[in-house]
Structure 1
Amino acid sequence: MKIAICSKGNTLDAEVDPRFGRCKYFLIVDTESRQVEVVDNSENLNRAGGAGIQSAELISSSGAEALLTGHCGPNAFTTLNAAGLRVFTGIEGSASEAIDQFNRGDLKAMSAPDVEGHW
């Protein structure tokens, strides 16, 4: 299964970014092989508005089935949900640790955004 992780760096050792729309990188990871595709999100990092929606569209086109992030606002959540992605928030630590938590079933998919827009 492919998952997307919001990351402050471009490796699995990097810390999970608490921001979704304005995270520095998305790591698209195969949860079994741990093969990583790095997606640079710098275009949305400095976007004045709509970063969450643009980032959600980027993730939905990556083939990921789930998103692991610190937080997710309402517009991004709606876009991700419409694309069929499960959203997991409150993720902390390294991307590698987040994958382990996901694989163990320790994470619970969200049914609503956990922050207001422009967090």
Structure 2
Amino acid sequence: MKIAFSTSGNDLNAPLDTRFGRAAKFLIYDTESQSVALVDNTQNLTAAQGAGIQSAQNVAASGAQALVSGHCGPKAYRVLSAAGIKTYTSNAATVADALAQFQAGALTELKAADVEGHWA
């Protein structure tokens, strides 16, 4: 299974970004191979609009089946849901901590967006 994490860093020790659409990168962790890949998302850091949608499309294109982030807005959630990607929120400090929470079954799957659109 591939799990996407919103982050600004390059490895599992990087901070988990609380913003999904404006995250600089997505770290994709493959649970089968225990490998890490990075998806650049910097084009959405200063996007006037559509950052959540474009970020969700980037995650879907990565092949991830799950996303762990701090928060997820309504438009991004709709795109992720339509792509069959399960979305989870975490307040973990690092991607490694969020991964441990995910693997322990400690995260609850979102059934709707947990913030308004254009959340800062």
Asked if TM exceeds 0.5, the reply is yes
Q: Letter of the aligned partner of 2:56 in structure 1?
A: A
The separation in 1 between residues aligned to 2:84 and 2:52, in whole angstroms, is 16
Q: Which residue of 2 aligns with 1:58?
A: 58
Counterpart AA for 1:21: G
Q: CA deviation at 1:91?
A: 3.4
Structure 1 residue 3 and structure 2 residue 3: aligned? yes
Report what 1:35 is aligned to. 35
2:28 and 2:52 map into 1 onto residues whose CA distance is: 17
Runs of 4+ in structure 1 over 3 Å off: none
Aligned residue for 1:47?
47
Structure 2's unaligned 5+ residue stretches are none
> Partner amino acid for 2:14?
A
Does the 8 Å contact 1:27/1:39 carry over to 2?
yes
Aligned CA distance change for structure 1 residues 31 and 91 (closer, same or farther; 3 Å): farther
Q: 1:14 to 1:25 in 2, by over 3 A?
A: same
Return the alpha-carbon distance in structure 1 between the equivalents of residues 92 and 32 of structure 2. Answer: 21
Query: How far apart, in 2, do the equivalents of 1:79 and 1:13 lie?
Result: 28
Whether 1:109 and 2:79 are equivalent positions in the alignment is no
Give the count of matched residue pairs: 119
Change (3 A) 1:33 1:98: farther
Please, what TM-score do these two structures have when normalized by structure 1?
A: 0.96
CA RMSD of aligned residues (A): 1.0
Give yes or no for the alignment of 1:22 onto 2:22. yes
Aligned residue type for 1:87: T
Identify unmatched segments of 5+ residues in structure 1: none
The offset of 1:32, in angstroms, is 4.1
Conserved? CA contact 1:26–1:40, under 8 Å: yes
8 A Cα contact 1:31 1:99, kept in partner: no
TM-score by length of 2: 0.95
